Chains A and B, each alone.
Chain A
Amino acid sequence: MAFHTRALLGACAVAALCAPATAETLTIATVNNGDMIRMQGLTQDFTDKTGHTVEWVTLEENVLRQRVTQDIAAKGGQFDIMTIGMYETPIWGKQDWLVALDDLPDSYDTDDILPAMRGGLSVDGTLYAAPFYGESSMIMYRTDLMEKAGLEMPDAPTWEFVADAARKMTDKDNEIYGICLRGKAGWGENMAFLTATGNSFGARWFDEDWKPQFDTPQWKETLSFYIDLLNEAGPPGASTNGFNENLSLFQQGKCGMWIDATVAASFVTNPDDSTVADKVGFALAPDTGLGKRGNWLWAWALAIPAGTQKEAAAKQFIEWATSKEYLDLVASREGWANVPPGTRTSLYENPEYAKIPFAKMTLDSINSADPTNPTVDPVPYIGVQFVAIPEFAGIATQVGQEFSAALAGQQTVDEALAKAQTLTAEEMEAAGY
């Protein structure tokens, strides 16, 4: 009897050791864009390797942001992995809402992540979200229209050159506008562009004492320049144009230049969708000679909310989706042009990837943005086209509405800046700054 009991216990122990770890079902919240959709299509590879399955919750960007914020703040536990951006990561990491990704295996090679991306997704040197794809902004321009205007686009142009070229390329009778820029109000819309542009003019959101700076000449110069340029060389109704509206205009051949996210490069050079696919050139975002360019830095990253019951499986997924092997997997199935850009140094050292026309310009743009030192003068915040504090989204959306109204001609530049200064000061005071 004793022998039987021992044998049974022994068998149980062996069975327990040999049994595979429990297969989990992970719920992942994400946005609907090309790279994320591609990842959903390749999930079977992850399931084959780990046994875990994945359920996707795909939402529109603003809805996703609201849903994950609400869920993480209320500890709803609906998601095991969340797709979040560079704005949320430092704020949530600091509040211990996210699981630190400081124990990833050596094979993952954390040091291979581009320094700008790693810096923007870390708090005090600890990584809280792994970048799935990264982007900056740059100039996309029509090579044929530039040539027709008798100009040659330098790799690193100034705003003066861009404004001059935009005016010369404009042919309103034929619905060709020299420059298309974001005008739609929103912290991630016109304010992303204008905050980054402001950096190149030496403007900043706050001084080192958190005092709003919209009453400075740098902001006046930034906003006046932007509005004058769009009024003279921009498309009609520019104050309602966001990324998609400008993409549509550019693809139909109506924009001479477009300064926006580097991810747009793959859209405008795709002959299936773009009528100007073979006539697009790229250049760094402009500067004014002050040492800072008007480009931003952004990453969509994968993070694990603190409190998930499936932390180990969630980490395995993040390792898989943001690994070098994943980039190879996408390349083998869909070609190098479809690999998620802007995350790993090794990708840009790959000679195959270097053949992609916009690869170098994307890397140079990302490398030239510094989230910890975004503008000419020192600032107390982190973020290139945003300020990584919880109050920013609300304040910047209101400021964006004032600037959009100024572009639409409903108020002057001075009025818009005065209102922006007042409302920002009030909100910051209420927030205890």
Chain B
Amino acid sequence: MARAVTNRRKALNTLIAWSIGLLIFFPILWTILTSFKTEAQAINDPPLFLFFDWTLENYAVVQERSDYMRFLWNSVIIAGGSTVMGIIIAVPAAWSMAFVPSKRTKDILLWMLSTKMLPAVGVLYPIYLLFIELGLLDTRVGLTIVLMLINLPIIVWMLYTYFKEIPGEILEAARMDGAALKEEILYILTPMAVPGIASTLLLNIILAWNEAFWTLNLTAAKAAPLTAFIASYSSPEGLFYAKLSAASTMAIAPILILGWFSQKQLVRGLTFGAVK
């Protein structure tokens, strides 16, 4: 009897979880569906869900008009580069905050987070002028550095939280066995924090991949990533929703697939240390 109730509850929970999941995913699903419609079908009233003449025409048009691979490559380099660079800087920073905290550690953590409280547009002009001076406008290096700096507080905070869960005694034991600082971080701490580092890595790749303010403002033709690719299909005078949807689908597909394959790692990392 008790088992039957449990099963019913399980079914109910599953249903609720699926409903919420579908609700959140629906806009993306709708974008994907619209990308297979004609422009006339895309604005049809009532909206067409599944029963329409599926077409790949929009993808062909987008492929013909834009150099998708160049945008994709820029996205990969900028998102991947900024995340890796961020992790390299953040691991030692988080280590020192977690294992050798000073009186000011909490203040520093809060100060780092406070940089996220200013709207990005507030520092657009100074950064734009700096980029002109340094010759970094429309370069992948410039954008990688900016995105790394923007995401660094989140990376440090996440790693700090994971490192706090690792008993300091283990590192102490390693030190007693003669491990130097570099070895302690590389061979003892990092392997134990792999789930945490992996989820930080994934989350930051997603954040950098979708970043649309700096990537639109600091690039022109050469370093423009997929966010600029999507923006180029938005039109205030003309209904090109199907083509815009095709461009959006092509832009989100790589990150969606990456997220799908790494979801276990992502969830494990995000809930790491949540239940003791």
Contacts and interface: CB of A to CB of B under 8 A. Distances in A.
B217 A273 contact: no
Given A243-B237, A273-B239, A252 B43 contact: yes
Interface centre among B44, B124, B216, B239 (most CB of A within 10 A): B239
Contacts of B21: none
B132 A76 contact: yes
Contact of B128 (A34, A70, A273): A70
B221 A32 contact: no
A251 interface: yes
Chain B interface extent, by class: 20 to 34
B217 A60 contact: no
A40 B65 contact: yes
A248 B125 contact: no
Interface centre among A55, A62, A242 (most CB of B within 10 A): A55
A371 to B, nearest CB: 20
Given A59-B231, A252-B45, A32 B240 contact: yes
A60 B137 contact: no
Contacts, number: 98
Nearest to B131: A76
Nearest to B240: A32
Contacts of A63: 216, 231
Contact of A242 (B40, B138, B222, B236): B236
B137 A76 contact: yes
Given A29-B220, A63-B231, A67-B216, A251 B43 contact: yes
Contact of B125 (A70, A247, A264): A70
B234 A78 contact: no
29 contacts: A27-B221, A32-B240, A33-B235, A34-B238, A37-B65, A41-B65, A57-B220, A57-B221, A57-B228, A57-B232, A58-B233, A59-B216, A60-B234, A61-B235, A62-B236, A63-B216, A70-B124, A70-B125, A76-B132, A78-B137, A78-B138, A244-B238, A247-B239, A248-B43, A251-B40, A252-B43, A263-B237, A273-B39, A273-B40
Interface of B: 38-40, 43-45, 65, 124-125, 128-129, 131-132, 137-138, 216-217, 220-222, 224, 228, 231-240
Can you list the 7 inter-chain pairs with the closest CB atoms, starting with the nearest? A58-B232, A55-B221, A60-B234, A78-B220, A32-B235, A248-B43, A61-B236
